[in-house]
Amino acid sequence: MSVVLQVLLTSALGQTLRDDAQMRSSDVDIPNRVQVGRTYRVSVKVTNNGTTTWQARKYFLRVRIVRGPSGSPTQREHLTPHLELKDPVAPGESHAFSYEIEGPPYLGEYRLEWVMSNGHDDFGDRVTRTIRVVE
């Protein structure tokens, strides 16, 4: 089940502008198991189903660790890159983010979450996935 958070804005013409994003678990391609120090490609597809155009360098895909293994730092740059849009995304259009991760040095399960952000607020569907880091 996904949670949808909508950020509402009002234009100068009185039209309600809304940031919203559609993203399903199947839109996130990441391995279930990664090895320490090894590099993996990740891709995430997001659709703009709001009424505002997502502007380049002002909108981004936020990746965070919801839960990590005991004793590991909760934020590991190995798994949580900063992914800004390089081009605008109009309502109804989709964008595919592609990036690499490196298996962190702490073994165990990491629960990751992906959500769109406008720099002030997160909005739209959130996808969570669990990966296991092994030697």
CATH code, domain with 60: 2.60.40.10
Contact 43, 101 (CB under 8 A): no
> Does residue 1 form part of some domain?
no
Classify residue 70 by its DSSP letter: T
Residue 37 counted as domain residue: yes
Computed on alpha carbons and rounded to an integer, the radius of gyration of the chain in Å comes to 16
pTM for the model stands at: 0.85
Q: Would you say residue 100 lies in a domain?
A: yes
Phi, psi for 25 (deg, rounded to 5): -55, -35
Q: Please list, in sequence order, all residues whose beta carbon lies within 8 angstroms of the beta carbon of residue 51, skipping any fewer than 6 positions away.
A: 15, 16, 17, 18, 20, 91
Q: What per-residue confidence (pLDDT) applies to 42?
A: 97
Residue 101 lies in a domain: yes
Report pLDDT digits (tens) over 28-77. Answer: 999 999 999 999 999 999 999 999 999 999 999 999 999 888 877 666 67
The pLDDT tens digits for 96-124 are 999 999 999 889 999 999 999 998 899 99
Provide φ and ψ at 61, rounded to 5°.
-95, 120
Confidence at 78, pLDDT banded by 50, 70, 90: confident
Domain span at residue 103 reads 7-134
**Is 2 part of a structural domain of the chain?**
no
Does residue 38 sit within a domain? yes
Q: Helices (H) and strands (E) in the chain — how many of each?
A: 0, 11
* Domains identified in the chain, total number: 1
